[in-house]
Amino acid sequence: MKRIGPLLLLVLPLATLAQQGYLPLSSVIDGRTTAQMHAYGSSGHSGIRPYARADQPGLMQDSLRPKALLGVFDRWADDSAHFRGGPLLDAQGGMDLGGDAAFLHRLGGGFWTDADVGKHWTFHLDGMAWSERFTGYLDSLVRATQVTPGEGYAYGNGPAYTHYDWNASADVAVGRYFHFTLGRGKNFFGEGLRSLFLSDNTYSYPYFKITTTAWHIKYVNLFTQMSDVRGAAGDPQNYLRKFASFHYLSWNASKRVNFGVFEAIVWQDNDPNYPRGFDINYVNPMVFLRPVEFSLGSPDNALLGFAFNVKVGKRTLLYSQLMLDEFLLANVRAGDGWYANKQAFQVGAIGHDVLGQKGLMLRAEFNYVRPFMYTHSDTRQNYSHAGQPLAHPYGSNFWEALVQGEWRKDRWVLRELFSVAVMGQDTGSSANSSYGNNIFLNENSRPLRDSTHYENFDYYLGDPLKVTILHNELSMGYLVAPRSGLMMELAWTLRSRSPEVGQGLTNYIRLGISTYFRDRHPVQEARYVLQ
């Protein structure tokens, strides 16, 4: 970041357009925008989030304008003001009737603010801290990984933990085509509820982003610094650094068809035999970094992905992703479970105003990830950040089918999510060998076929122990502040795991006020233990 930071200062004399700024990466806040961008005739690139505010005219409709006392929250966040902001609050409590019936809580507070400086710059800052006691399955995850899903390192020894998150950015548009952002936060590529490319499942990270928009194309160069929290005991000074370079090219080939190409390279700078820091070789403005990676002796982790999306009718989108880490067609066709066939794919459909019911959204999605996907021979270069996968929360070796529904009317929001997943789980005898379930294990720690050779074949989804997870989330809420996602909410979580380990059933009912300034991902599973 020390090297790429000065690049942003160089563009100041070139700025010619009005401020941009971004919406929060929250489906509660940008859901109306997504519906507009999925409609036939829209020229937007809905697979690149967070969305730029300037690309979303009329986001807040008249039905959400301030009313009575509640309007004070919206006045703080008025889009026409040069200084916007407001509080971020969490005060939820409830009981898990499927566990030990203990009282659970999520208590947090913080703030957010945007500032327009002159006609060209927008600065953003938000921060929040929590004290939280988790349901049994999330508590197991926190104890195993030392991190709170998407919200940072978990401090404490239980039953309650403290954690925090913050984001900041400086943003400027340059000429008609270029957009520069230096910040700390998250990014998301894809049309699904999940992304097999890059999701917002992990903790925030420093980044520098160049967004180019021309003709029917939007192209993102994203350079990031990631962290490996293993062995650091929560001290950021002891985190091991690694870097990643991402490319995503979105092309609206017609009013209905969109193609996407994704690339990622992950490398680490703490190898005493190869100290390099941020590798300038990967500051390449074009797609296809694989030749660059090969020219360096192929020391790093390279992934390649493709997206294909089609608008059907007026308000329905069919979407897909294909992600490749390693690929050999002969072994794929042989079906022999070769460990290095690392692929993942996603297919889904989302419809808006379904059956003529305004504000009703329905989604169906299927994700499939083979064993060993997102792993690497050097675990410091696996596809993760701060103890969590950069793509799907389950990591590798699973399939998941989900359905999602959401109905909005004025400030009321009713949401439902049901998912079923089948995955492989390591057991006591296999925990130190890699069957492709744990992205934090070296792929060369596979079981031995004999005294000198690793077993290269017979790795199939669900091995060595098949686990089935059913997860249901139902909530009803009233948006107090639509621009920050502040919502009074009643919610219910029902989750089962088979075979049971510890608490197999979660039946959690909660009530309170909560801020959805960023999306949460409660559908999780403890699949590994970080040392």
The answer to whether position 526 is within a domain reads no
The average pLDDT across 193-217 equals 95
User: How many domains, in total, are found in the chain?
Assistant: 1
Return the pLDDT at 59: 52
Q: What percent of the chain has pLDDT over 70?
A: 83
Q: For residues 248 and 262, is the Cβ–Cβ distance under 8 A?
A: yes
The answer to whether position 531 is within a domain reads no
Phi then psi for 65, rounded to 5 degrees?
Answer: -70, 155
Q: What is the DSSP string of 167-204?
A: EEEEEEEETTTEEEEEEEE--EESSSSS-SSB-S-S--
Return the pLDDT at 219: 94
The average pLDDT across 263-289 equals 68
With a cut of 90, say whether residue 189 has pLDDT above it: yes
Give the mean pLDDT of the chain: 86
Return the pLDDT at 312: 96
Q: What is the DSSP string of 418-466?
A: EEEEEEEE--TTTTTS-SS--TTS-TT-PPBSSSS-B--S---TT-SEE
| Ordered alpha helix ranges (H), 251-361 | 290-295, 329-334
More confident residue, 290 or 86: 86
With a cut of 90, say whether residue 91 has pLDDT above it: yes
Q: What is the pLDDT of residues 116-175, one digit of tens each?
A: 887 778 899 999 999 999 999 999 999 999 999 999 999 998 899 999 999 999 999 887
Q: What is the pLDDT of residues 484-528, one digit of tens each?
A: 899 999 999 999 999 877 667 899 999 999 999 999 999 999 988
The average pLDDT across 386-392 equals 95
Return the pLDDT at 3: 45
Return the pLDDT at 39: 92
The answer to whether position 521 is within a domain reads no
Q: For residues 198 and 346, is the Cβ–Cβ distance under 8 A?
A: no
The answer to whether position 286 is within a domain reads yes
With a cut of 70, say whether residue 403 has pLDDT above it: yes
3-class DSSP state for residue 134? Answer: coil
The residues that bridge with 133 in the sheet, in sequence order, are: 105, 160
Return the pLDDT at 488: 96
Return the pLDDT at 392: 97
Indicate the pLDDT class of residue 296, thresholds 50, 70 and 90. very low
The average pLDDT across 350-371 equals 96
Q: What is the length of the chain?
A: 531
How far is residue 148 CA from its own chain's centroid?
14
Q: What is the pLDDT of residues 2-49, one digit of tens each?
A: 444 443 333 333 333 344 688 899 999 988 889 989 999 888 999 999
CATH number of the domain encompassing residue 260: 2.40.160.130
Indicate the pLDDT class of residue 286, thresholds 50, 70 and 90. low
172: domain range? 5-515
The answer to whether position 530 is within a domain reads no
Return the pLDDT at 232: 85
Return the pLDDT at 280: 64
The answer to whether position 203 is within a domain reads yes
- Within 10 angstroms of residue 62's Cβ, the number of other Cβ atoms is 6
Block residue for tokens 């492989």 = 424
More confident residue, 204 or 530: 204
Indicate the pLDDT class of residue 238, thresholds 50, 70 and 90. confident
Return the pLDDT at 175: 79
Return the pLDDT at 287: 56
More confident residue, 56 or 229: 229
With a cut of 50, say whether residue 68 has pLDDT above it: no
The answer to whether position 221 is within a domain reads yes
The average pLDDT across 226-241 equals 87
More confident residue, 16 or 474: 474
Q: Please give the Cα distance from 190 to 219 (Å, whole number).
A: 13
With a cut of 70, say whether residue 284 has pLDDT above it: no
Q: What is the pLDDT of residues 411-454, one digit of tens each?
A: 999 999 999 999 998 875 555 678 889 999 888 888 888 877 88
Return the pLDDT at 65: 53
- At residue 266's C-alpha, the angle toward residues 263 and 270, to 5°, is 165
More confident residue, 156 or 55: 156
More confident residue, 149 or 275: 149
Q: What is the DSSP string of 28-65?
A: HHHHHHHHHHHSTT----TTEESPBGGG-TT-S-GGGS
Indicate the pLDDT class of residue 297, thresholds 50, 70 and 90. very low
The answer to whether position 304 is within a domain reads yes
Return the pLDDT at 176: 80
Return the pLDDT at 112: 93
Return the pLDDT at 276: 61
